Structure 1
Amino acid sequence: MRGKRHAALIGVLVLSLMVGGLPTGAKQQGERRGDLEIEAREGFSLDSRSKAGGETDLVVIQFEGPIEEEWKEEIEDIGIELGDYLPDYSFIAKLSEQGDEKKLKRLSFVKRVVPFYPVNKVAPTLRKSLGTTDEVEVAVIGFDQQVDMNRTLYRAASEESIGDVDSLQNARHISLARMSGEGLEEVIQSEDVIAVIPMPERKLHNDRAAKIIKANKLESAGFTGKGQIIGIADSGLDTGDPDDLHPDFTGRIKSLYAIGRKGDASDLDGHGTHVAGSVLGSGEASDGQYQGMAPEAELVFHSMLTEKGYLKGEVEDILGEAYEDGARIHSDSWGTDDNGDYGLDSFLFDQFLWEHKDMTALVAAGNQGEYGYKTIGSPATAKNVIAVGATENDRPDVGGDEADDPDTVAGFSSRGTTKDGRLKPDIVAPGSYILSARSSVAPEEEFEELFDQYYAYNSGTSMAAPILAGGAAQLRQFLLEEKELDEPSAALIKAMLISGADDLDEDMRLQGFGRANLLQAIETDFVDETDGLVTGEEATFAVEVYERSKPLAITLAWTDYPASLAAKRTLVNNLDLTVTAPSGEKFNGNDFFRYPYDDEVDNLNNVEQVWISRPEKGLYTVSVKGFNVPKGPQPFALATTGKIKEKGGGQHIEQGKLHDDKRSDRYADYSFRAKSEGRLRVYVDWNNHASLSLTLYDSQGDILAIKEIKKRKSLVLPLPEKGRYKIRLELEDGPKVSYKLSMSYPE
């Protein structure tokens, strides 16, 4: 029964993203196209500026190399507070005593300590306003995430130079403020401020004529989004009355929030209703003909459009309420046209997704493609979202030359890279001439063309993102029901979509990793590694390839720690993907463009792929290494069109309780056999403030190491040879504790 269901699913999913008759094949001709630099030169990711600005207690500490947890602990033991991470190998820090800098410079792993001057805090686009009477609207970011930035602003700036100030509810170290350039100059002198950036100007991402798309019926396979809850933030939803909505949403609304206009979630623009129809419209008003991608999913909707026509809402509130209501997929077809910048909304998306690693957010790339490269806007520039560009549809009879080549990226679709050189969009999906639900309260002029009273045409990356969001819900349902995963990570869904994508032989700055193909995505093999890696740690896998006729794709993805808004580059935790072919040839992740394919190492992106158009048959060795993990451990996901045969390491996960009633209950012993020399990694989490220690014994019972365990931090110990070992986890202080222990070792 399960096999028949899977076969039926494959049959219908062939069509699900190849809407309107898109072919399942794609051009696969040698190397990827594009000219991307994936290896940034190491150094401070700060502007080189003069030392104007006087004394400061804020400094940047640069380490000798990839950051070890012990180095951070040693600095914190001195009493120095570490703030945001900056590439490469650096932290902003606050000195508390006069001799702190000398103490730092005596540490063997500290390369240099330099002042973090006020001018380093200001975004380049704001610097021309410094000291003037010009009024600016800004976001001010604080050093300490626990400190309310509002108080800092009122202390730092004079009353006449600062206007409205409002803290973000769920990120109180960030304040939104209106102030003069003179106030801006005053604010950046504060040691509690580390960055000031422009406020985002959000807009809906649709601007091309649209005609038609038919979302496919997936009921026969049973994967229709049933049991999935999808969040959308947009202009509004039809009438805004849950009891009197477009028929395609009847019984589908779990929550409807009006945040742009209090008490009014109606869609006067038409954009939000159209987007929601593409995601999960049931097709009720068309006898099931014009369904969304996940026609049985439920909807959590936030109406953002204000009476003045702009979009209002805090990212943390929108995502947080959707998450609390059960949404694990979120679709966002709006953003700021800020030419590849990592703006405030990008940071806020990354922060929320880092804290909720099972939430997948899909964001429209924008519609500025006609202006060339680096036109993608925030929040699509966030590291942890899936940024979706648009391809043409296959409807030349209604769309003319804007819908006559499904293997072509639409001319309006915004291009990468981001300002710091990262590859965006991640993926593309059909976005021209899309037919979807029509808001009954939006005027006719808001649509490019009407179909009937219930449906209308629109086009843009706004239309591509919800199509893929519905597809992601189908994929997630597949993982829960067919693969029996409890909480598939967003990194896994991203890796599977990217490994399954069709290469269109377009420049990767246009197509990302290709056009989504759900059929190929569900056929990938995968690993969803939740414990993660620390600096210097490595996980290996064996992947077998049985045929040469299809490209081999191996994709590594991880949800990265949010970047500092003071940094020029955004990658924090840097993992490296290396693949060794049966013949011994090596490939580095994202080294696509110039032979050899193992001479450049990506230190910009949190998605890496090895893609081989005509692979050798045989066994490939896949390595994932934690090159630099300053905010770890770093979980990751791996998805491949090959077959994962084995994991190159043993792993035990144990749970238990320790208490001080009896001596024997104060510790627990676990044995394991390492098949080669290497390293043991132990990760322990527990439920209170107890102190634990770990002792490592060899096969003779001799003690090799005794270490204090740090809560939620990995401990790495050398194993000098193959053989049997034992570890003892012991309660040092506290009456009792419940713990979960994970250990990995060579096998």
Structure 2
Amino acid sequence: DDPFPFRLRNTKAPIGELVRSETAVLLRNAFIDTKLAQDLPIPDAFKAVNDPLTYIAQSRGPATSAFRRHIALNGGKIVSYIPNNAYLVRMNTAGAARLADWHGTQSVLPFEPYYKLEMKLLEMALTDQSLPEGALLNVVLFPESEPLAAKRLAALGIEVLSEDRTPFGAKLVARIPSDMLAALARLTEVQGLERYRPRRLANDLTRPRLGVEIFEAETDDDGAVTGVSKTDYLGLTGNRIYVNINDTGVDDHDAFGRRLFGPSAGQDRHGHGTFVAGIIAGDGSGSGTIKTNPPPGSYEDPDFKGMAPKAKLHVLRADDYKVNNHISDNWLQTESATYHYFKSPKQEYALISNNSWEYDEENDYTWAAASYDAATRDALPDKPGDQQVIYVFPAGNSGEGSNNGLNASPNSISAPGTAKNVITVGAIEALRDIAIESKSYETNTVTEADEDGNEIEKEEITTTTNTPFSSQTDSDNQVAFFSSRGNVGIGIEGQYGRFKPDLVAPGTFIISTKTRDWDDSITITTNTLNEDEAFVYGGWLHRSEEDAEARRELDEQLGNQYRYGSGTSMAAPAISGLLALMQEFFIIEGDQTNTSPALLKALLINSAQSVDARYDHNVQGTVNHQGWGLPNLQRAVPAKPVASVNTDNSTTLFIEQSLTNALATGESRSWEITLSSNAMHYPMRFTLAWTDPPGNPNAAVKLVNDLDLIVTPMSDSSEDPNGPGDPVDPSDPEDEVDKKQEVYYGNNIGASIYSSMGATNDVINNVENVFIEEPTSQNYRVTVYARRVNVDSLSAFYNAEEPADHIDVVQDFALVMSSANPELEGAFDDVKPDKPEVIELPAVASLTNGMPMLHQRVGANSALAKETDPAHTVYANRRGITNQWHFYTFVNAPKKKEDPDDTDDSNPPDDPSESADESQPSFGKHVAFITFMPPNLSSPRHREADIDLYVSRDSNLTNLEPAVLDAAFRSIERGGTEFITFDDAKVDESEVFYIGVKSEDQMAAEYGLVGLSTDNANGFSDDDGNIYMLPLPAVIPDGSAANPGGVSIFGVYTGMPYDYVRKVTATSIIHHEEVGDLWGQ
């Protein structure tokens, strides 16, 4: 499976097809189509020997609450979601076998040791590369397996050094003997293995670049410009906002005053954390002490204020110097959240956490990345409620690009910046035009002739002068050469991977606060990278000793209070500071204290714009340089009101995540918007973001819950026969095909920065955008559709019973709609959410075993029926209009005899047959439902009506619940003869089948329906190819010579299909009471 030679697969289908397949199980190390043979060539060393105690259970169709209940009923505990439609489940072999036999299960596969290894480890194992002696691995255990795992690890000679927590189980840092990798993978307590990687560390121009600072002209009485003043946009300074910094500590610099808190406040021997803190919250104190005024690219008397100069900082150390003193991700998450929500004056708003570090040489979605995805929703899962955190990470400094902003390496973003819910930030250049020279000298020995003609050797010195920093500071619209590029998971999370980074910010030659212990001494070998953490990861990339000397000279020009720094470490805090200002805006201006990470991320991305025409927003591009671009505070929170959907006169509207708007599979929410006439002249921007549950790193695609953003232009004419518009039905494939040229789907952006109509939905990302360059309609319908919701985003665990306040697992979301011009008086004339309506559902009839129901009818499938039914939050034509359906129930047990004298129900019989009506056919485990054309049609047709048959054990089928419809057994052939069979039915009054017949014809359909239950198997065949069917007996109704009674007899065969039937022989045994009942020749 090039370029992944060790990934196994039983299908040749490309990954772009498999991510949309209902029967594909997509693991990092294996692609399995469960409708095909599943024998994979797994080496014996990495194959489960006995009961693996863990299985991959795949639902038949979307995973429903019924499927999850059956997992629990068979002793299973869900660990995580696995794409597609599957869960990683802890259960024994017997439970797995029972689950596999259930009709709603597509497959149950053993979770092999082969699947547990990260790809690099797997490559080493399969190419006979031994682990280095004393190698360190992250060992992730299954929940509740720690005590037994400790004993088994010790028996293998494995030394555990530290422990951390992930959303799926404990993570150990362990020292592994070189020959124990396979044995470790085979332990049933082990869920995942990856190489241990230590952390490494990854403004005066930044503030105006991000719209934080406004320049205003100063004039005299005559209107002449006398100068330029700088003001904070809307007076925002970050006052009252706490920001967490996980770094090397923060020194007591004058620029922070008394705004430092936490165990690592006031100390930083490294300097990196102090620099980062200055970008976020420095107040500019000491700016006047610089020796060279102004520095290159700055204004006269510059002020090196940070983004939020009055914000408070909670400081924790994150730099690891010793493995056995490892600072865990869980500690960073819980310590910062505990302080924010419980120890400090209690804060109601989501905590902002800046993390300007990365895991060394780790570009995958790791267990650490998964932990930050989980902590975004709730960093303190042991506390009641959700303690939400907005995590900001750098993209990393491994882009290896050119100084023209191009030619970089994709898939180079570092974990945990590979996580879905965090904000990942790349770096662009800051325009300074630094022309300082660097001189290098080269001594060569040359041979010359002297005056006498004798050859003599002579040393010759060549001087080379260059300007090493000029190309890194010659623009403000190029991505920095070092900035890591996306996408992430290319070839694993779909053909093109998942869209990262999210944003960019200035990150070259930023000026910020300098620690008092800063040491700029330099001893570097020419043409090598400086390995001193204080420079490289802080981040300076020196190509030579001479370049480093030039950089030191630049720092001397700034004095003792400030210094230069470059790296994505410097871009990330700019976004963290921007978030602090946005939090302040919502608290003070909007009186909203609980702004979610999803909404803040959506607002930032919605405000972002491409930094240059050479870049685009192509989600399926070869290299992702800039993410969604450079955000701007004035567009994220414009001076005009930022409002929820029930407020007009705004240029930006948002829908905050809430339980009210949370969606289960198949549900949708829509808003109809009317643009103002002024807004028609500017691009419109729509952004959907949701806090997705963490993905399992062993899986391929990391998206768990898949939502779609759909924007439909509506008719502007009130005379349109279809009403205000004809929106696409997102869940109806035929409707999608018919209307794909009429709608915008989220992230359908090619080599452009604007959306195109048509194409298909995004199944990889949890941020979706629609950017409309030129609105062609004044009216739009904006829809959020839940294509798949597999894990409840609102509960910590999903093994328990379904929550009482909602019927299924749900996903909430945040939605932002805005005009690209934040100066408009109002972009929206009207915004209307869907209003609930009461829908009349068809009545439900009962089937009797073996007795056909004739002359049944369903209404036509109207080609014009495109109405909505907000009460069910899904389009009506997705399920058809109500008169297209006819519902039935079938109880797989005989009716009890009616005894008017028997009123004692205290001792019901154990066997239903003991009280059964003996006149009824016997019931059994073989059940079939068949639609057919009745013998007497009221209106002859040239062909059969096209009807479809649906059967489910879930009563919500009769309520047209989308998830139940999707999971139901279906027979949807052309024509009117459909059948569905079961061979696992219980003979019990609790075994109730719900049957729906739907017309797919544009004429009303008439049909017959029968339900059959018997102990006899559904037919069998012999060696000669003869097929034998044993129909149920049936009563022949009375008739006359002119109109004899007749009955339909049904035989069912479910074996190998035959293309042709040569002959049918019917053997009839007739029992009659009187000769007069017979008529014949």
With structure 2 as the length reference, what TM-score do the two structures score?
0.53
The answer to whether structure 1 residue 225 and structure 2 residue 225 are counterparts is no
Higher strand proportion, which one?
Answer: 1
Q: Secondary structure at the match of 2:316?
A: strand
Select the structure of larger CA radius of gyration.
Answer: 2
Q: CA deviation at 1:307?
A: 5.2
The answer to whether structure 1 residue 510 and structure 2 residue 625 are counterparts is yes
Q: CA deviation at 1:347?
A: 1.5
Q: Secondary structure at the match of 1:486?
A: coil
Aligned counterpart for 2:510 among listed residues 431, 434, 455: 434
Within a 5 Å distance, the mapping from 1:26-41 to structure 2 comes to 40-41=19-20
Aligned counterpart for 1:416 among listed residues 486, 493, 496: 486
Residues 680, 549 of structure 1: CA spacing in aligned structure 2 closer, same or farther, 3 A cutoff? closer
- Could you tell me how far apart the structure 2 residues matched to 1:323 and 1:158 are? 34
Counterpart in the other structure of 1:26: none
- Could you tell me how far apart the structure 1 residues matched to 2:64 and 2:747 are? 26
Aligned counterpart for 1:588 among listed residues 726, 745, 748: 745
Counterpart in the other structure of 1:127: 122
Counterpart in the other structure of 1:400: 470
Residues 522, 718 of structure 1: CA spacing in aligned structure 2 closer, same or farther, 3 A cutoff? farther
The answer to whether structure 1 residue 341 and structure 2 residue 356 are counterparts is no
Gaps of 5+ in 1: 1-35, 239-244, 259-264, 652-674, 682-714, 722-747
- Could you tell me how far apart the structure 1 residues matched to 2:681 and 2:148 are? 62
Counterpart in the other structure of 1:178: 175
Within a 5 Å distance, the mapping from 1:629-648 to structure 2 comes to 629-632=789-792, 633-642=810-819, 643=828, 645-648=831-834
Counterpart in the other structure of 1:254: 261
Tell me if structure 2 keeps the 8 A contact 1:677–1:719. Answer: no
Question: Letter of the aligned partner of 2:817 in structure 1?
Answer: T
Residues 631, 159 of structure 1: CA spacing in aligned structure 2 closer, same or farther, 3 A cutoff? same
Question: Letter of the aligned partner of 1:376 in structure 2?
Answer: I
Tell me if structure 2 keeps the 8 A contact 1:161–1:182. Answer: no
Aligned counterpart for 1:112 among listed residues 89, 107, 114: 107
Q: CA deviation at 1:305?
A: 3.1
The answer to whether structure 1 residue 191 and structure 2 residue 191 are counterparts is no
Question: Letter of the aligned partner of 1:648 in structure 2?
Answer: D
Q: CA deviation at 1:680?
A: 4.9
- The sequence identity of aligned pairs, in percent, is 29
Counterpart in the other structure of 2:765: 605
Counterpart in the other structure of 1:235: 248
- Could you tell me how far apart the structure 1 residues matched to 2:19 and 2:595 are? 32
Within a 5 Å distance, the mapping from 1:456-495 to structure 2 comes to 456-495=563-602
Question: Letter of the aligned partner of 2:388 in structure 1?
Answer: D
The answer to whether structure 1 residue 164 and structure 2 residue 160 are counterparts is yes
Residues 224, 384 of structure 1: CA spacing in aligned structure 2 closer, same or farther, 3 A cutoff? same
Residues 320, 600 of structure 1: CA spacing in aligned structure 2 closer, same or farther, 3 A cutoff? same
- Could you tell me how far apart the structure 2 residues matched to 1:39 and 1:115 are? 20
Counterpart in the other structure of 1:628: 788
Q: Specify which structure has the bigger relative contact order, considering alpha-carbon pairs within 8 angstroms and separated by 6 or more residues.
A: 1
Tell me if structure 1 keeps the 8 A contact 2:281–2:311. Answer: yes
Counterpart in the other structure of 1:369: 399
- Could you tell me how far apart the structure 1 residues matched to 2:17 and 2:763 are? 7
The answer to whether structure 1 residue 50 and structure 2 residue 41 are counterparts is yes
Question: Letter of the aligned partner of 2:353 in structure 1?
Answer: H
Tell me if structure 1 keeps the 8 A contact 2:199–2:320. Answer: no
Q: Secondary structure at the match of 1:562?
A: coil
Aligned counterpart for 1:541 among listed residues 671, 682, 685: 671
Question: Letter of the aligned partner of 2:577 in structure 1?
Answer: G
Counterpart in the other structure of 1:711: none
- Could you tell me how far apart the structure 2 residues matched to 1:127 and 1:554 are? 42
Tell me if structure 1 keeps the 8 A contact 2:207–2:307. Answer: no
Q: CA deviation at 1:37?
A: 7.3
Q: CA deviation at 1:552?
A: 1.5
- Could you tell me how far apart the structure 2 residues matched to 1:41 and 1:405 are? 42
Tell me if structure 2 keeps the 8 A contact 1:357–1:490. Answer: no
Q: Which moved more, 1:537-546 or 1:589-598?
A: 589-598
- Could you tell me how far apart the structure 1 residues matched to 2:633 and 2:245 are? 21
Counterpart in the other structure of 2:269: 268
Aligned counterpart for 1:303 among listed residues 317, 329, 349: 317
The answer to whether structure 1 residue 325 and structure 2 residue 339 are counterparts is yes
- Could you tell me how far apart the structure 2 residues matched to 1:170 and 1:197 are? 13
Q: CA deviation at 1:474?
A: 0.4
The answer to whether structure 1 residue 383 and structure 2 residue 420 are counterparts is yes
The answer to whether structure 1 residue 61 and structure 2 residue 62 are counterparts is no
Q: Secondary structure at the match of 1:276?
A: helix
Residues 165, 405 of structure 1: CA spacing in aligned structure 2 closer, same or farther, 3 A cutoff? same
Aligned counterpart for 2:655 among listed residues 502, 511, 527: 527
Tell me if structure 1 keeps the 8 A contact 2:713–2:780. Answer: yes
- Could you tell me how far apart the structure 2 residues matched to 1:311 and 1:591 are? 47
Question: Letter of the aligned partner of 1:347 in structure 2?
Answer: A
- Could you tell me how far apart the structure 2 residues matched to 1:346 and 1:220 are? 34
Question: Letter of the aligned partner of 1:443 in structure 2?
Answer: D
- Could you tell me how far apart the structure 1 residues matched to 2:634 and 2:833 are? 25
Tell me if structure 1 keeps the 8 A contact 2:337–2:387. Answer: no
Counterpart in the other structure of 2:444: none
Q: CA deviation at 1:67?
A: 1.8
Residues 441, 45 of structure 1: CA spacing in aligned structure 2 closer, same or farther, 3 A cutoff? same
Deviation per residue, 1:605-626 (Å, 9 max, x gap): 1101111222224121111111
Counterpart in the other structure of 1:559: 691
Counterpart in the other structure of 2:994: none
Residues 589, 37 of structure 1: CA spacing in aligned structure 2 closer, same or farther, 3 A cutoff? farther
Counterpart in the other structure of 2:9: none
Question: Letter of the aligned partner of 1:195 in structure 2?
Answer: G
Counterpart in the other structure of 2:287: 286
Tell me if structure 2 keeps the 8 A contact 1:533–1:635. Answer: yes
Tell me if structure 1 keeps the 8 A contact 2:238–2:309. Answer: yes
- Could you tell me how far apart the structure 1 residues matched to 2:562 and 2:149 are? 49
Residues 92, 406 of structure 1: CA spacing in aligned structure 2 closer, same or farther, 3 A cutoff? same
Question: Letter of the aligned partner of 1:257 in structure 2?
Answer: S
Residues 185, 676 of structure 1: CA spacing in aligned structure 2 closer, same or farther, 3 A cutoff? closer
Figure out how many residues of one structure are paired with residues of the other and give that number.
612
Q: CA deviation at 1:354?
A: 2.4
Residues 718, 248 of structure 1: CA spacing in aligned structure 2 closer, same or farther, 3 A cutoff? farther
Residues 513, 467 of structure 1: CA spacing in aligned structure 2 closer, same or farther, 3 A cutoff? same
Tell me if structure 1 keeps the 8 A contact 2:160–2:172. Answer: no
Counterpart in the other structure of 2:199: 202
- Could you tell me how far apart the structure 1 residues matched to 2:635 and 2:331 are? 35
Deviation per residue, 1:667-705 (Å, 9 max, x gap): xxxxxxxx9745458xxxxxxxxxxxxxxxxxxxxxxxx
Q: Which moved more, 1:486-495 or 1:315-324?
A: 315-324
Counterpart in the other structure of 2:991: none
Question: Letter of the aligned partner of 1:88 in structure 2?
Answer: N
Q: Which moved more, 1:62-71 or 1:124-133?
A: 124-133
Residues 107, 608 of structure 1: CA spacing in aligned structure 2 closer, same or farther, 3 A cutoff? same
Question: Letter of the aligned partner of 2:255 in structure 1?
Answer: D
Tell me if structure 1 keeps the 8 A contact 2:836–2:870. Answer: no
Q: Secondary structure at the match of 1:578?
A: strand
- Could you tell me how far apart the structure 2 residues matched to 1:295 and 1:718 are? 59
